[in-house]
Structure 1
Amino acid sequence: MTRRVRRVAGFVGALGAVLAAPLAAETVAIRAGSVLTDAASEPSGPATILVTDGKIVSITPGAGPVTADREIDLSTMTVLPGLIDLHTHLTGDPGGDFWKEATEPDEWGVVVGAKNALVTARAGFTTVREAGSGRDTAFALRRGTAEGVVPGPRIVAAGPALSIIGGHADINSFRSQVNDVLTSGFTCTGVVECAAKVRLASQRGSDVIKITATGGVLSQQNRGLEAHFTPEEMKAIADTAHSLGLKVMAHAHGARGIQQAAEAGIDSIEHGTYLDEAAARAMKANGTVLVPTLMALEGVSEALGKGIYTPVVEGKIRAVQPLMASLVSRAREYGVTVAFGTDAGVFQHGRNAEELALMTAQGMSNREALASATTEAAKVLGMENQIGRLAPGYSADIIAVDGNPLADVTVLEDVGFVMVRGRVIE
């Protein structure tokens, strides 16, 4: 080996050692005007939050001297946990153009998702549950935000939803040959096949199993909003998912579909539009959580009469409008736990926090609404020891606003600072 080659080899080896070595963990001091550690607490006076390597190290009253690599001045603001949205579709934007399924590649969903991930984080949402996407788009986006390549929230991803053949979430309304090409591969019939598709979703990387337990408002077929899967199929899905350590979220509108899903052991009902007493009692008895997605109806109602949706879809939207105005109060009447989720993507991303005011309009207090988007949502994800509050050892998912959200929850619609996993979102 020549002297020059030895020098180059030595340089490359040294460079490799430097790149392989972990970077020194930076310690950041956040100087807060007030800290709301969780929805059950009251805002403190001035305090200092120390963050190292993406975790909260300490929360100390006052603004005394600390040892930190840098400081962030939020001394005029209320600092609180980042918000959690349990029902988003980051990889899609609103619109009624169902035919785009046949013209846009899945890869485009990652591009759209990167845009929406940043918008969502800037709105104060530091964790989201991605409730149905293309085969790999949400998984790619999940990795991007986890590694800091894409600025955005922590993503808990479902991937493609399980559906009956021809049901909501299955491709339809095209020529049969096109439907066959575009199918997700996650339709199933019978308990054996449905259990197998849960296992396939787990193998592919799903963090949670999403099923369409009933028909849908925005699907092109006008075949009602009641149960699609049989009770036995839903139980097979729930049992198989739970055996793998996964939870199940069920898109469900019709009352009997909601009831059957709850009785099958499914963990959360998304939408829940036609919830009645029997369905609510089944949810309460089985510990099933309601994620009401009130903003979904708000968003699609704004688009009525503008030629965005087909006549079939417009008819279904108008049919469900009267029911959503009392959904949360109906659920709470029977003791059903309500957790925060919006269906962002059906409406414009970044408006997620407007859901909070819709919840308080149906009888929730500001404190209860905030809890639904922090501590309660964290429990739904099984992450209550990691996110949803500010405490030593928890992820540094931190936002700041002007004002006190316990006095006026709408202050959360204008977030002035966001940190996700210790990374500041500019």
Structure 2
Amino acid sequence: MKKLAILAALLGTASPAIAAETILAGNLIADTSEGPIGPATITVDDGRIVSVVKGINRPADGIVHDLSDKTVMPGLIDMHVHITGDPSGDYWKAATTPDSWGVIVGVKNAEKTLKAGFTTVRDLGPRGSDSAFVLRRGIAEGYVQGPRIIASGPSISIVGGHGDVNGFRPDVNELLDDGFNCTGAVECAEKVRLASQNGSDVIKITATGGVLSQQGRGLEAHFTDAEMKSIADTAHSLGLKVAAHAHGARGIEAAARAGIDTIDHGTYADERALRAMKANGSYFVPTLAAFEGVRQGMAEGRYTPVVNAKIREVMDQVGEPIRPALDMGVKVAFGTDAGVFPHGENAMEFRLLVNAGMTPQQALSSATLVAAEALGMENEIGRIAPGYSADIIAFDGDPYADVTVLEEVDWVMARGRAAN
């Protein structure tokens, strides 16, 4: 029956008799690169889009979602979140809070994220070895509401670097070590294999120093070239992509040359770094919203002097590489670093991307088509088309004229389940 429905969709006719649910769209954006196409009828069965037909065709029976006064588009994708954590400068909490608490926090944040219109997120480097994996399963099996989670598990980092525990007594640091630090190419390959064994969908590394850790030794490269190449090659041999937290220009360049799939933050990316990203096909995930979060945190006195010094160092540079990256043909994918700021506010990134030089269409595609491609899921998500996952959102207004309309999403469906 599903094959008949898909055939009917390709022929331009609906097959409402087999559709479990019908969505009436007032103005459909099926593909963000093509813009709105006007009123349309979408049929959904068993979590997948069965047909997309122009015009409003209300069925005689079945579940109908009447969004005929709304703009409808694919669910949004955030390539960089920390869904099991909330904004905090209280580093000592790592020593007092059980890892399992992250699941409770994650349930709260997953619902907020979903209702904000984000139906897929990539969770990168949580505290706790399996909190995001547990949440991923709970959402997939329908126990709790939330987006599809592509989860990395703990970050792979150098000893004492960003991503490792810092700032405690040596015996406390050792106690809190999550077991994913490495030194040398062989040990780093081993950690990738361990992450794969534990259930990682993607590998995250901290390729350079970071802003919000107690590690205060700059923002340049942490791993050696051989270590990063080993990580990338090992991950790819296992069918896994690699995301690199990276701020400093030479660390970004080294990560791209090593074959890292996404460069997240990319704050100081210069021409050499961007050329390496273009040559190696690395995607750029700018996470501009993170810096709005740290600006607010600094104003509230949330951070330590070590962190405040790094925030002051980077703020004037935020967003500067975006226009040169686009001009050079580097693909920019949407990511926010939610968790540094409150979850559910992810869509502020659209406004920041446009302010940094992207067109509204480029910003919309960064959170749909480009992000789906960066995940290797371009045939599953990022469009509203027959055979795709039924990840769909609705809202008022025209995002091509004003991207901030996406900050108020009214209706969400993820994998065929309407959020409530």
TM-score, with length taken from structure 2: 0.94
Query: Does 2:126 correspond to 1:120?
Result: no
Residues 28 and 68 in structure 1, CA contact (< 8 A), matched pair in contact too:
no
Partner residue, 1:98: 91
- Give the distance between the partners of 2:95 and 2:386, measured in 1 at CA: 48
Query: Does 2:150 correspond to 1:156?
Result: yes
Shift of 1:349: 0.6
Partner residue, 2:341: 347
* Letter paired with 2:277: M
Shift of 1:42: 2.5
Which moved further from structure 2: 263-272 or 55-64?
Answer: 55-64
- Give the distance between the partners of 1:142 and 1:117, measured in 2 at CA: 10
* Letter paired with 1:118: E
Shift of 1:408: 1.4
* Letter paired with 1:160: P
CA displacement 1:268-316 (0-9 Å, x = unmatched): 1010111111111111111111100000011110122422100110110
Q: Secondary structure at the match of 2:129?
A: coil
Partner residue, 1:140: 134
Shift of 1:335: 2.2
Which of 284, 297, 302 in structure 1 is aligned with 2:296? 302
**Could you say if the C-alpha distance between residues 65 and 76 of structure 1 is closer, same or farther in structure 2, counting changes exceeding 3 Å?**
closer
Shift of 1:32: 1.1
Query: Does 2:38 correspond to 1:40?
Result: no
Taking the TM superposition and a 5 Å limit, the aligned residue runs for 1:26-425 are 27-66=20-59, 68-133=61-126, 134-425=128-419
Shift of 1:367: 0.6
- Give the distance between the partners of 1:297 and 1:105, measured in 2 at CA: 28
- Give the distance between the partners of 1:171 and 1:330, measured in 2 at CA: 35
CA displacement 1:240-282 (0-9 Å, x = unmatched): 0000000000000111100000000000101011111111111
> What count of residue pairs does the alignment treat as equivalent?
402
- Give the distance between the partners of 1:161 and 1:303, measured in 2 at CA: 23
Residues 83 and 109 in structure 2, CA contact (< 8 A), matched pair in contact too:
yes
- Give the distance between the partners of 2:233 and 2:121, measured in 1 at CA: 24
Q: Secondary structure at the match of 1:303?
A: helix
- Give the distance between the partners of 2:60 and 2:229, measured in 1 at CA: 54
Residues 395 and 421 in structure 1, CA contact (< 8 A), matched pair in contact too:
yes
Residues 209 and 247 in structure 1, CA contact (< 8 A), matched pair in contact too:
yes
Q: Secondary structure at the match of 1:338?
A: coil
* Letter paired with 2:300: K
Shift of 1:65: 4.2
| Structure 1: unaligned runs, 5 residues or longer | 1-24
Q: Secondary structure at the match of 1:356?
A: helix
Residues 19 and 50 in structure 2, CA contact (< 8 A), matched pair in contact too:
no
Q: Secondary structure at the match of 1:304?
A: helix
- Give the distance between the partners of 2:22 and 2:60, measured in 1 at CA: 8
* Letter paired with 1:350: G
Runs of 4+ in structure 1 over 4 Å off: none
Shift of 1:333: 3.3
RMSD: 1.1
